[in-house]
Amino acid sequence: MAKKSTIGKNAFEDTLFGWNAPEFIRYERGWRWYLIMSVLDIGLIVYAYFTGSWSMALVFLLLPLVYILESRKKPKLTQVSLSSWGIKFGIIELPYTEIKQFWIHHNPPHLDELHLRTNNKLHPHLAIPLMGASPVLIRQYLLTQVPEWEGKTISFIDWLTRFLRLH
């Protein structure tokens, strides 16, 4: 039986594992969150006024408008695939040679995430939601391709972002 020709075919298309994931996770925010952030923003504007920092006051006046515009953006579902060549997340194609390390964040009841530390200057750190894909199988395969960053946990900034539900 003849093999299929792979001439002209992208190596990232030979998917070993694949799933759909949102570009980013959008957290639900209640009225308390909006109240706390409004009080904080107003407090920073008042502070800027009394310290004579007009540029700071302007930034914190515009911040709620930027937030409202940005919060309208809905995360698009994008295809994630692991091939023998590398990892593709939407339009981002990362060969395994560009990935320094990986680790999987597993913290029920939150979503499992695959974290990649790369050589890519545009995407030095990528967090990809696993959305029910098996973290065990993905880890076992990636161990054959990329070093694992053992003992790594989410950074303080990531923790704070999740705690404040800023995504």
C-beta of residue 21 within 8 angstroms of C-beta of residue 130: yes
**Residue 28 neighbours by CB distance under 10 Å:** 6
* pLDDT on residue 12: 73
> 68 vs 5, 45, 151, CA distance in Å?
50, 18, 37
What is the rounded distance in angstroms from the CA atom of residue 26 to the CA atom of residue 129? 12
Q: What is the pLDDT along the chain (167 residues), one digit of tens a residue?
A: 444 434 445 677 788 888 888 887 777 778 888 898 899 999 999 999 999 999 999 999 999 999 888 888 888 888 999 988 999 988 888 899 999 999 898 776 667 889 899 887 877 888 888 988 888 899 999 999 999 987 777 777 766 766 666 54
In the CATH scheme, what architecture does the domain 16-21+76-163 have?
Roll (2.30)
Q: Where are the domains of the chain?
A: 16-21+76-163, 31-71
What is the rounded distance in angstroms from the CA atom of residue 78 to the CA atom of residue 84? 20
